[in-house]
């Protein structure tokens, strides 16, 4: 039996569906029907693919083809609306996937919403579009004001209809993680295995089904910022990104991948045709500090990382995001902020500051809000846009760096977690 006929449909692309269909002696157009059913309609079994003739469905099932589902095993709901899913795969391994309603990748308040409106407004033709920025005439300015209002009211309308206007799904790329960042709970698991492309896409399909939303009608942001290091599972991550865009219908510009700094892969990634936006976890302002917090810095140091970022081919209106986890008394001093500003000087980038989300076994503490603001203001003063990320779902251990596996948290002795979270299913 061919390999295609013993595998799961989730994770296959149109080319692979074509092979499967032709090996089964079916007409070529059936490949597209399967593609639609798996990614756009997100069926849960081969039997549900209503566009295929019944005998073909049966033949597929008898030859061992499955959908390759990612099953929601548990669901925790935060007081802030964030939902953390424990998702289990065929071999019993599990990861966590997070739904942030009306979140935007944890970047709310960082100006990205305004940026999005500006992006759309930029398409309205104005005078003097070439050369130096011309003064806007009053009618054009009025048009833009009006368009802004319309966009806002459209946004509200969508929010009303779906209550998911800017929802974000945070997905995992590996079971556990090998990178060993000292402030991250996932690191304590070590790495168990890579996820397949189907398992990566399967998380998204499961959450979209559960939340009853469907891109592109519903604007869904997607971040590869869950468990694992996407650039250490590069091929599957790239294939999954393509399937998410071409199959599921997630807009490419709404996807972001975050890497701890796998430098050779940053170069590879720059050459990909379908490509989420790039975020880099900086987390320290000099090599000594970074090597202590993120051991991978011994392999790819700041010089190498910053060089890769500077050479990264940015598209129109694109910038690189640097994430910086602030650890009280460790990397949050004004001097650290000045070093970061120096590292990033002149780069088309922004910095997202994340005050540490604490966890058991993590030997760091969260800095005060004042300390975070001082850090932010130094960056801004040096001309580097800097935003403070609002923590999401901390009470259910769904925030950045808190993903470790629901079962362990469900039996956690910490009372605030037990009392605030609601466990469903």
Closer residue to ligand SAH (CB): 18 or 283? 283
Q: Contact between 259 and ligand SAH (CB under 6 A)?
A: yes
Residue 400 is a catalytic residue: yes
Closer residue to ligand SAH (CB): 8 or 283? 283
For residues 74-93, which are near ligand SAH according to CB under 6 A?
none
| CB contact set of 324 (below 8 Å; sequence gap of 6+) | 282, 283, 331, 340, 351, 352, 353, 354
Q: Which one from 26, 96, 116, 323 is the annotated catalytic residue?
A: 96
| CB contact set of 73 (below 8 Å; sequence gap of 6+) | 86, 87, 88, 94, 406, 425
Contact track, ligand SAH, 134-163, x by CB under 6 A: ------------------------------
Nearest to 164 by CA among 206, 222, 118, 244: 222
Nearest residue by C-beta to ligand SAH? 401
State the Cα–Cα distance between residues 272 and 276, nearest whole angstrom.
Answer: 9
Query: In this structure, what token pair is assigned to residue 270?
Result: 């720059």
Q: Contact between 110 and ligand SAH (CB under 6 A)?
A: no
Closer residue to ligand SAH (CB): 241 or 283? 283
CA 193 to chain centre: 19
Query: In this structure, what token pair is assigned to residue 6?
Result: 């013993």
Q: Contact between 260 and ligand SAH (CB under 6 A)?
A: yes
Q: Which residues pair with 95 in a beta bridge?
A: 87
Residue 170 is a catalytic residue: no
Q: Which residues pair with 323 in a beta bridge?
A: 281, 352
Q: Contact between 372 and ligand SAH (CB under 6 A)?
A: no
Closer residue to ligand SAH (CB): 7 or 357? 357
Q: Contact between 367 and ligand SAH (CB under 6 A)?
A: no
> Which stretch of DSSP H or E encloses residue 71?
strand 71-77
Q: Provide, rounded to whole angstroms, the least separation between the CB of residue 246 and ligand SAH.
A: 23
Closer residue to ligand SAH (CB): 325 or 330? 325
Q: Contact between 281 and ligand SAH (CB under 6 A)?
A: yes
| CB contact set of 38 (below 8 Å; sequence gap of 6+) | 9, 10, 12, 49, 67, 247
Q: Known catalytic residues?
A: 96, 400
Q: Which residues bind ligand SAH (CB under 6 A)?
A: 179, 181, 183-184, 225, 229, 258-260, 281, 283, 323, 325, 354, 356-357, 400-401
């Amino acid at each position: 039996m061919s390999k295609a006929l013993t595998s799961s449909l989730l994770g296959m692309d149109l080319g692979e569906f074509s092979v499967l269909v032709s090996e089964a002696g079916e007409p070529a157009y059936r490949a597209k029907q399967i593609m639609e059913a798996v990614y756009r309609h997100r069926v849960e079994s081969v039997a549900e693919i209503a566009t295929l003739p019944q005998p073909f469905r049966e033949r597929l099932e008898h030859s061992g083809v499955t959908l390759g589902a990612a099953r929601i095993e548990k669901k925790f709901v935060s007081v802030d609306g964030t939902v953390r899913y424990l998702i289990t795969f065929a071999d019993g391994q599990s990861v966590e996937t997070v739904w942030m309603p009306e979140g935007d990748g944890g970047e709310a308040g960082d100006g990205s919403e305004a940026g999005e409106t500006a992006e759309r407004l930029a398409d309205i033709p104005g005078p003097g579009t070439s050369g130096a920025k011309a003064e806007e005439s009053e009618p054009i300015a009025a048009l833009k004001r009006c368009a802004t209002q319309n966009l806002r009211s459209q946004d509200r309308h969508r929010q009303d209809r779906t209550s998911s206007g800017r929802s974000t799904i945070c997905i995992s790329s590996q079971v556990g993680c090998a990178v060993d960042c000292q402030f991250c709970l996932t690191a304590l698991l070590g790495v168990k295995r890579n996820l397949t492309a189907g398992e990566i896409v399967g998380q998204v399909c499961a959450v979209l089904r559960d939340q009853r939303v469907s891109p592109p009608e519903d604007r869904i942001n997607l971040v590869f910022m869950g468990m694992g290091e996407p650039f250490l599972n590069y091929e599957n991550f790239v294939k999954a990104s393509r399937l998410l865009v071409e199959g599921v219908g997630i807009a490419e510009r709404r996807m972001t991948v975050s890497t701890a700094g796998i430098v050779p892969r940053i170069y590879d990634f720059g050459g990909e045709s379908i490509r989420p936006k790039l975020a880099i976890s900086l987390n320290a302002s000099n090599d000594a500090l970074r090597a202590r917090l993120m051991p991978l810095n011994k392999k790819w140091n700041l010089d190498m990382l910053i060089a890769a970022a500077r050479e990264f081919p940015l598209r129109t209106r694109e910038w690189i995001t640097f994430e910086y986890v602030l650890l009280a008394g460790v990397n949050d001093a004004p001097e650290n902020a000045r070093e970061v500003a120096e590292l990033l000087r002149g780069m088309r980038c922004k910095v997202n500051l994340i005050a540490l989300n604490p966890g058991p076994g993590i030997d760091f503490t969260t800095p005060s809000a004042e300390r975070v603001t001082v850090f932010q203001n130094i960056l801004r003063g040096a001309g580097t846009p800097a935003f403070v990320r609002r923590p999401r779902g901390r009470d259910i251990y769904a925030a950045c760096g808190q993903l470790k596996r629901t079962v362990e948290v469900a039996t956690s002795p910490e009372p605030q977690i037990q009392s605030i979270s609601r466990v469903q299913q």
